[in-house]
Amino acid sequence: MFIVPFHPDHLGEALMQGAYVIPIQDQTRFLNVTAYTGDTSIAFTAYGSSKILGMGGFIEIYPHLVEAWVIISTQDSKYNVRLGRTIVKMFRKIMRSHPSWQRIQAAVRKDFDEAKRLIEFLGFQNEGLMRKFGPDKSDYYRYAVVRNEPN
């Protein structure tokens, strides 16, 4: 497995490899968000055997607030543990290098139990249910880590 900087083309590549990543109606919107964040975004893509396993990163909303996102595009169980460990390692490294981020938040689909376990392992707390939040009107939970750094 190897990691490269994220590029919006990676989502299209994952879809061409047969991954069901996000609903069709929201792919263009997602690509627009990731393409135009410039220096306020940090994101990576994980490859294994020349296939995209997943991608994720942080989009800065304000200097103190970022939205974390992860898209897992593989169902290959031989990569699951390794990919999970890589996500945890990179998340912690990026968090240490950005002490000004006081709130890191993420939306997790209500029925995605593996993602809920991962985000809770990373120290996020569930802040509540957001009904009809997803592009397909599915319910999501809002998770966040709030750090008490000086203003």
Each residue's pLDDT tens digit, 35-81:
555 566 788 888 888 888 888 889 888 889 999 988 777 666 667 77
Most confident of 4-18, 50-64, 117-131: 117-131
- Residue 129: the pLDDT is 97
pTM of the entire predicted model: 0.80
Q: Tell me how far CA of residue 108 lies from CA of 60, 64, 111, 127, in angstroms.
A: 18, 21, 8, 11
For all residues of the chain together, what is the average pLDDT? 81
Instruction: Specify the pLDDT at position 85.
Output: 84
The residue with greater pLDDT, 120 or 52, is 120
Q: What are the structural domains of the chain? A: 2-146 (3.40.630.30)
Contacts of 16 (CB under 8 A, 6+ apart): none
d(CA 122, CA 115) in angstroms, rounded, equals: 11
Q: What's the pLDDT score for residue 61? A: 87
